[in-house]
Amino acid sequence: MSAFPNSPKLLKAGIVVADVATSTIQRVISLQYNPDTLTRSLAPQALASDEKDRSEALRLKGPAVETIKLEAEIDATDQLADPDNNPDAVQFGIHPQLAALEVLAHPSSTDLLANSALEAQGMLEIIPMESPLLLFVWSRNRITPVRLTDFSITEEAFDPDLNPIRAKISLGLRVLSVDDLGYQHPGGILFMNYLAQKEQLAARSVSAALSVLGLNANPLGGRS
């Protein structure tokens, strides 16, 4: 029991794996410890710099390309201290937790074998395999479809059988927008909700007075 029973419950960040066709949840991957930092980059989709039409200078072609970078830790120390209730940690260390993330970077073995069988039958065109839809969840206010772009693991400690028992992971994610998925795709709908929520939060940010910037009047000549 917590020494502070009235303290708020700590939410975990993680990834939800969903089936696109049915929108059913296949797996929820919760990070053991929330990262201390989350790096996000947004690249606006402006028109190409070689465009000569000055009337197009302020136009955007679509949503900004957003990328997310985070580092997290996985540690089996607590589980190994209670071996009777954590037999998997004793037998495998943190292999299962790492594998749950690693399989997100691969097509399934079933899909690979199915494509191999089609090739053996002489199929001239093999449709690329579709991965599940990944949703990155960082609180209720940030739920967005993503693609895993890079993933690295640094294993730092091992048990006597060389099972990893402590590791640092680095995840690179790219937010998938309606440009990638379309407006009717479940992920596209989720992205639009994500964008609308940003706009609602932005509306809560109070606009500063021009005087804060050292200006006494609208620099464009219009109303302040």
Residue-wise pLDDT tens digits, 57-115:
788 889 999 999 999 999 999 999 999 999 999 999 999 999 999 999 988 888 888 88
Rg (CA), the chain: 23
Report pLDDT digits (tens) over 146-204: 999 999 999 999 999 999 999 999 999 999 999 999 999 999 999 999 999 999 999 99
Q: CA 189, 191, 197 angle in degrees (round to 5)?
A: 105
**Residue boundaries of the structural domains of the chain:** 14-44+59-203
| Cα–Cα distance for residue pair 213/135, rounded to 1 Å | 40
Host H or E run for residue 109: helix 109-120
Half-sphere exposure of 20 (CA within 13 A, CB side): 14
Cα–chain-centroid distance for residue 64? 16
Q: Reduced to 3 states, what is the DSSP secondary structure of residue 218? A: coil
Strands (E), 9-57: 14-18, 25-30, 38-46
Host H or E run for residue 199: helix 186-203
Other C-beta atoms closer than 10 Å to the C-beta of 167 total: 21
Which residue is listed with tokens 């690693």?
Answer: 102
Answer yes or no: are the C-beta atoms of 29 and 98 closer than 8 Å: no
Report whether pLDDT(1) > 60.
no
Nearest Cα to Cα of residue 129 among 20, 17, 16: 20
Host H or E run for residue 90: helix 87-92
Cα torsion angle, 208, 211, 214, 217, sign: positive
- In this prediction, residue 119 has a pLDDT band, given cuts at 50, 70 and 90, of confident
| pTM for this prediction | 0.84
* 44: CB partners within 8 A, 6+ apart: 60, 64
DSSP assignment of 63-129 equals EEEEEEEEEEEEE-HHHHTSGGG-HHHHHHTTHHHHHHHHGGGS--HHHHHHHHHHHHTT-S--PPP
Query: Average model confidence (pLDDT) for the chain?
Result: 89
Report whether pLDDT(2) > 50.
no
